[in-house]
């Protein structure tokens, strides 16, 4: 979940009556939970290359999904672009998505970053590693997510709330890897090592670590990259105080998630929608995600930005991300029983 400001929902001069009317074949309507500056340059490039206009509607992820559900067969939406596979899974579960049907995407995007039933595809990759304060934590002390329950980390860990879908997906990955009982024991042990009650977003966890409130933060690398390149000196200074550690490199690998898109079942422009998805997965777009957004490409062989390259390569968990959605409800119950607020 990206806690972006809620942009006014708009449909580019379309009135309420126009929403139900057949639209032109040379356009695609995109409902996006990504704020405009994180996707618009790619959409403009797509229009430049194909002549297909993208009508962009931005808003909070859960609100956009509810809107598509409420609009039903009359929705103007062709694509839903959102963050975290948990949300993509919810869209599929609500019955508002359909198989994409693109051989190009199947060939381009690794299977673990695609829905097995073809309802969604990952477009950029985010890792959720351990971030530690330089000079206060020896990276040789770190190894796995599971080892964070060790007593030596008591009062030293910052992480955001269990209501955050990123943490829910991380918990789901723990269930998939170690089983429900071990995952619940881990959650209880992690809670016991919290430096403070969870509050704020991922950047707040990094800032808290930099300010001495904790020694370890668990956060998505996307946020750290944004802080490194921030125009605000305070954010850059906080980011400079922490380093990235890739956990579970001798086992399943570091937990990863995606931002991705689903084809809306009621789409009136499925061909244009597929063309846009294929464009967002091509070499040019994947390189742009890495350079401009601080996200990892979903495809192998794409160059990284200097910031990402500085953190080094890592082994990512190869679990099919659909499993994270399937295990979301169980993850929430475990987190609740563990006292993870």
Partner residues linked to 256 by β-bridges: 127
User: How far apart are alpha carbons 296 and 281 in whole angstroms?
Assistant: 12
Torsion sign across C-alpha atoms 258, 264, 265, 267: negative
Partner residues linked to 98 by β-bridges: 263
Query: Residue length, the chain?
Result: 341
Q: In what order do the strands lie in the sheet with 157-158?
A: 157-158, 216-218, 130-133, 242-245
The confidence score (pLDDT) of residue 25 equals: 56
List pLDDT tens digits, range 142-153.
999 999 999 999
Comparison of pLDDT for 211 and 35, the residue scoring more: 211
List pLDDT tens digits, range 153-174.
999 999 999 999 999 999 999 9
List pLDDT tens digits, range 197-216.
999 999 999 999 999 999 99
Averaged pLDDT for residues 233-249: 97
User: How far apart are alpha carbons 289 and 234 in whole angstroms?
Assistant: 25
pLDDT at 19 over 50: no
Do residues 2 and 34 make contact, with C-beta atoms less than 8 angstroms apart? yes
Name which CATH class applies to 127-254+322-337: alpha beta
pLDDT at 10 over 90: no
pLDDT at 184 over 70: yes
| Correct CATH for 16-123+258-302 of 3.40.50.300, 3.40.50.150, 3.40.190.10, 3.40.50.620 | 3.40.190.10
Other CB atoms within 10 A of residue 192 CB: 15
Confidence band, pLDDT 50/70/90 cuts, at residue 278:
very high
Partner residues linked to 80 by β-bridges: 31, 262
List pLDDT tens digits, range 287-323.
988 888 889 999 988 988 899 999 999 999 999 999 9
Three-class HEC string of the chain: CCCCCCCCCCCCCCCHHHHCCCCCCCEEEEEECCCHHHCHHHHHHHHHHHCCEEEEEECCHHHHHHHHHHHHHHCCCCEEEEECHHHHHHHHHCCCEECCCCHHHHHHCCHHHECCCCCEEEEEEEECCEEEECCCCCHHHCCCCHHHHCHHHCCCEECCCCCCHHHHHHHHHHHHHHCHHHHHHHHHHHHHCECCCCCCCHHHHHHHHHCCCCCEEECCHHHHHHHHCCCCHHHHHHHHCEEEECCCCCCCCECEEEEEEEEECCCCCHHHHHHHHHHHCCHHHHHHHHHHHCCEECCCCCCCCHHHHHCCCCCECCCCCHHHHHCHHHHHHHHHHCCCC
The confidence score (pLDDT) of residue 291 equals: 83
Q: Do domains 16-123+258-302 and 127-254+322-337 have the same CATH topology?
A: yes
Confidence band, pLDDT 50/70/90 cuts, at residue 23:
very low
CA distances from 215 to 17, 40, 234 (A): 55, 37, 18
Look-up: residue for tokens 């672009």? 81
For the chain, which residues make up each domain, given as ranges?
Answer: 16-123+258-302, 127-254+322-337
pLDDT at 3 over 60: no
Residue in 140, 35, 18, 92 with CA at minimum distance from that of residue 322: 92
Torsion sign across C-alpha atoms 272, 322, 202, 334: positive
pLDDT at 58 over 50: yes
pLDDT at 245 over 70: yes
Confidence band, pLDDT 50/70/90 cuts, at residue 334:
very high
Q: What's this model's pTM, rounded to 2 decimal places?
A: 0.88
Do residues 217 and 208 make contact, with C-beta atoms less than 8 angstroms apart? yes
The confidence score (pLDDT) of residue 12 equals: 34
The confidence score (pLDDT) of residue 15 equals: 34
List pLDDT tens digits, range 77-126.
999 999 889 999 999 999 999 999 999 999 999 999 999 999 999 999 99
User: How far apart are alpha carbons 92 and 109 in whole angstroms?
Assistant: 19
Averaged pLDDT for residues 6-27: 41
User: How far apart are alpha carbons 341 and 167 in whole angstroms?
Assistant: 11
Residue in 101, 118, 14 with CA at minimum distance from that of residue 57: 14
Dig out the tokens for 151 from the structure: 């007593």
């Amino acid at each position: 979940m990206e806690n972006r400001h809620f942009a006014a929902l708009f449909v580019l001069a379309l009135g309420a009556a126009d929403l139900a009317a057949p639209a032109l074949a040379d356009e695609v309507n995109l409902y996006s939970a990504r704020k405009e500056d994180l996707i618009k340059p790619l959409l403009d490039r797509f229009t430049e290359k194909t002549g297909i206009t993208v009508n962009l509607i931005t808003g909070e992820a859960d609100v956009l999904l509810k809107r598509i559900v409420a609009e039903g067969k009359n929705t103007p939406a062709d694509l839903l672009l959102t963050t975290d596979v948990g949300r993509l899974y919810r869209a599929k579960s609500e019955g508002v998505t359909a198989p994409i049907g693109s051989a190009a995407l199947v060939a381009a995007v690794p299977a673990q970053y695609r829905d097995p039933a073809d309802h969604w595809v990952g477009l950029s990759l985010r890792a959720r590693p351990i971030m530690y304060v330089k000079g206060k934590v020896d990276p040789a002390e770190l190894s796995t997510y599971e080892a964070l329950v060790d007593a030596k980390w008591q009062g030293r860990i910052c992480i955001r709330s269990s209501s955050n879908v990123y943490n829910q997906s991380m918990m789901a990955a723990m269930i998939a890897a170690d089983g429900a009982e071990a995952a619940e024991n881990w959650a209880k042990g992690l809670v016991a090592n919290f430096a403070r009650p969870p509050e704020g977003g991922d950047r707040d966890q990094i800032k808290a670590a930099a300010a001495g409130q904790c020694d370890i933060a668990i956060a998505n690398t996307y946020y750290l990259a944004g802080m490194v390149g921030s125009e605000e000196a305070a954010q850059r200074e906080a980011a400079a105080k922490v380093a990235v550690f890739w956990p579970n490199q001798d086992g399943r690998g570091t937990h990863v998630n995606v931002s991705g898109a689903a084809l809306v079942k009621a789409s009136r422009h499925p061909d244009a929608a597929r063309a846009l998805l294929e464009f967002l997965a091509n070499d040019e777009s994947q390189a742009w995600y890495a350079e401009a957004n601080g996200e990892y490409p979903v495809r192998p062989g794409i160059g990284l930005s200097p910031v990402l390259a500085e953190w080094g390569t890592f082994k990512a968990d190869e679990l099919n991300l659909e499993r994270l959605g399937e295990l979301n409800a169980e993850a929430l119950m475990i987190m609740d029983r563990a006292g993870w607020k």
